[in-house]
Structure 1
Amino acid sequence: MKIFVFEWVSGGGLVAEPLPPSLAREGDMMLRALLDDLTPLPGVRVLASRDPRLPPLAGVSAIVPAPGEGALELYARGARAGDAAWPIAPETEGALERLTRETLQLGKILLASRPGAVRLTASKYATALALRAAGVPTVPTFREGDPVPPPAMPGPWIVKPDDGAGCDGAVIVPDWRAASDRLAMRSGHLVAQPWIEGCALSLSLLCCEGRALLLSCNRQHVRITDGRPALAGITVNGVADQAGRLAELAERIAVAIPGLWGYVGVDLVLAKEGPVVLEVNPRLTTSYCGLRRALDINTAAMVLDLLRTGGAADGWRRPEATTSVTLSLETDRGD
């Protein structure tokens, strides 16, 4: 099988724009981790895409954008050359959804979540509604025009783009009134959520056909500067799943959002009342970069195995925890 791997930032998605060093480094981390998993697999050949402003990839065939070629055209050219495609892109402005739909329209195997699931999870507001309807504990999420939150939600709020990735564009404000004012500045594009105290976590999942296998629980190291949060680092496999409640939460998320497939990330807060979901990322996340060292597994091989097994229950075994791995992103921020 020939697999085309396309990481949006390092692979040419921003070829017509300045290339932020922080995003390029983080994207490159994910790309190289995935390539390290794919290239040793028997019967697998890999083709990647590369922004020409970055150093070439050693030992991997790669295409570069042609003059005037847009990101979608570049992606289609690479996907046509392979049997399957593995897109890694932000949900912002529908980028990841367009790539997933293009893959299927070309008749290629999509090694990622299905377009419907990507479209839903691209919106924090729609995700919260879907999860809440399924009984999944989710942070209350508001947009302009929604009923005023109850008095039981005092204290700080966070306002962020509805389709933003991670902490990008997020700002912490002192109360709901300040949050409401910010929502009015970009009606329909922002959401507001009460700030929830607790331990910031992410989950690394393997999903297929409404099922989820919890690979690791990761501790997120968030720093706040002038009211703006940023992810400074991640300790992969840094949190134990006490009593299996996070594994159960993962299963409920997979049922609530049909079409999640392959590697999926979930951001949440472990509050004193229990876990509260913030968002679902239907793609590779930075935590992927530490899974091999932390768990001694090849996650890409596990994803490819889903094509054969369809996620059959007898083939799903959570990896034995071995160690934790801390990934530092501190130098990535503020470039």
Structure 2
Amino acid sequence: MRVYIYEYAVATGDEEFLAEGRAMLESLLRAFVKSGYETLTVAHPSVGVRWADEVLRDETQALECADLTLVIAPESDGLLESKVREYSRETEVIGPTPKAIRVAADKRKTEDALRDARSFQLPAREADVMVSKPADGAGSEGVRIGRGEFSRELIPGSHHSLLCASDGETVDVLGINDQFVAFAGRELAYLGGRTPSDHRELTRIARDIAEEVVERIPGLVGLFGVDLVMKGEEPYLIEVNPRPTTPTVAAALEHPEAVVRSLLEGPTGKVLRYRREYVYVKCGAEALVPEKFEIVEDFHGLRVYRG
């Protein structure tokens, strides 16, 4: 079976998303190779890619060769939804449906779908300190203190995420993660993260949160991420990412076969446990890496360390 993984930044050479995009692509390619699958991808001439059995320049040729396809792209400006729609006409796509992507990509639609949740809260619409972001922004793109296109309460607390795999009913939690974020003036910057998190309450309730998100957003299948802030022991859901997220690099290093099984054979409701600790940081954020951690991957813009 040949698995085609498309990653937007690698395919187009878009420098803004390239560090994390290439890291996620190569991590998943390696996981599929280690699980016995043939792999292919497309890459811009300026971008090198490891672990693919074949690297092509033409998407049409890749689709003709593929039995299954996984799409990684920013959800902003309809990029992810349009690419999934396009590919679904030619091959089987492993991942959220276009309808689920549309809900998760729009912060207002996500909020409507998740209102009155049982396992988490949503930030208030009015507060003394607000944070704004584009309604369809990806990652930390355009996030700043103050009012803007989509403004909600700035929740004080620790930043985290979940990496999940779903078939629409059952969910595996593949990673419970800390996020390294910092404000440069009024702008929020994502610097990297740590897997697994040692936040006990989040670890206890992670599967409940993931299952409720899947229940409330029909079609949220395949790999997806959930961003949260823990205010003490109270979880506040910030957004849902209908695609693989950066902690994929840790999950694919520690549990390559389990990640692939969750995607292709279906999740079983497990929460993956980690024997080792992983820290992944962008260039310039190496001070966040604990002492005695060794570098295990350098994705040319994102480095992964293991403790």
* 1:87 equivalent among 71, 77, 98: 71
Shift of 1:98: 1.0
Q: TM-score, normalised by structure 2?
A: 0.85
What amino acid does structure 1 have at the position aligned with 2:114? L
The answer (yes or no) to whether the contact 1:170–1:229 under 8 Å persists in 2 is yes
The answer (yes or no) to whether the contact 1:124–1:279 under 8 Å persists in 2 is yes
Query: Distance in 1 between the 2:94 and 2:30 partners?
Result: 16
**Equivalent residue pairs, number:** 285
* 1:30 equivalent among 24, 27, 36: 24
Matching of residue 217 in structure 1 with residue 176 in structure 2: yes
Shift of 1:323: 2.6
The answer (yes or no) to whether the contact 2:107–2:150 under 8 Å persists in 1 is yes
What amino acid does structure 2 have at the position aligned with 1:64? R
Provide the residue aligned with 2:263 in structure 1.
Answer: 303
Change (3 A) 1:97 1:167: same
What amino acid does structure 2 have at the position aligned with 1:164? G
Change (3 A) 1:230 1:330: farther
What is the correspondence of 1:119-158 to structure 2 with a 5 Å cutoff? Answer: 119-135=102-118, 137-140=120-123, 149=126, 153-154=127-128, 156-158=129-131
Q: Deviations over 1:218-274 (max 9, x none)?
A: 000111101111111100112344372222111111101111111111000011361
Shift of 1:45: 1.5
Bigger Rg, structure 1 or 2? 1
Query: Distance in 2 between the 1:58 and 1:251 partners?
Result: 32
Query: Distance in 2 between the 1:268 and 1:96 partners?
Result: 22
Provide the residue aligned with 1:11 in structure 2.
Answer: 11
Change (3 A) 1:81 1:55: same
The answer (yes or no) to whether the contact 1:139–1:194 under 8 Å persists in 2 is no
Query: Distance in 1 between the 2:118 and 2:52 partners?
Result: 47
Task: Give unmatched runs, 5+ long, in structure 1.
Answer: 66-73, 143-148, 174-178, 184-189
What is the correspondence of 1:259-298 to structure 2 with a 5 Å cutoff? Answer: 259-272=219-232, 274-294=234-254, 298=258
The answer (yes or no) to whether the contact 1:204–1:287 under 8 Å persists in 2 is yes
Q: Select between 241-250 and 108-117 the one with higher mean Cα deviation.
A: 241-250
Query: Distance in 2 between the 1:290 and 1:257 partners?
Result: 26
Q: Deviations over 1:169-218 (max 9, x none)?
A: 11112xxxxx1xxx3xxxxxx20111000110000111112332222210
What amino acid does structure 1 have at the position aligned with 2:17? L
Matching of residue 232 in structure 1 with residue 191 in structure 2: yes
Shift of 1:300: 2.4
* 1:317 equivalent among 270, 276, 290: 270
Shift of 1:54: 1.5
Whichever structure has more strand as a proportion of its residues is 2
CA-atom RMSD, angstroms?
Answer: 2.2
What amino acid does structure 1 have at the position aligned with 2:44? D
Query: Distance in 2 between the 1:95 and 1:138 partners?
Result: 29
Provide the residue aligned with 2:48 in structure 1.
Answer: 55
Provide the residue aligned with 2:218 in structure 1.
Answer: 258
What is the correspondence of 1:236-247 to structure 2 with a 5 Å cutoff? Answer: 236-242=195-201, 244-247=204-207
The answer (yes or no) to whether the contact 2:159–2:229 under 8 Å persists in 1 is yes
The answer (yes or no) to whether the contact 1:125–1:141 under 8 Å persists in 2 is no
Shift of 1:4: 1.2
The answer (yes or no) to whether the contact 1:97–1:119 under 8 Å persists in 2 is yes
Shift of 1:137: 3.0
* 1:203 equivalent among 140, 162, 167: 162
Q: Deviations over 1:280-305 (max 9, x none)?
A: 11111010001144557541232111
The answer (yes or no) to whether the contact 1:128–1:140 under 8 Å persists in 2 is no
> Percent identity among equivalent residues?
25
Provide the residue aligned with 2:97 in structure 1.
Answer: 114
Change (3 A) 1:7 1:63: same
Q: TM-score, normalised by structure 1?
A: 0.79
The answer (yes or no) to whether the contact 2:42–2:57 under 8 Å persists in 1 is yes
Shift of 1:139: 2.7
Q: Deviations over 1:10-53 (max 9, x none)?
A: 122x5xxxx32x521221111110111011223x2211010111
The answer (yes or no) to whether the contact 2:161–2:226 under 8 Å persists in 1 is yes
Query: Distance in 1 between the 2:257 and 2:65 partners?
Result: 28
Query: Distance in 1 between the 2:171 and 2:162 partners?
Result: 11
Shift of 1:77: 4.1
Query: Distance in 1 between the 2:174 and 2:49 partners?
Result: 31
* 1:100 equivalent among 71, 80, 84: 84
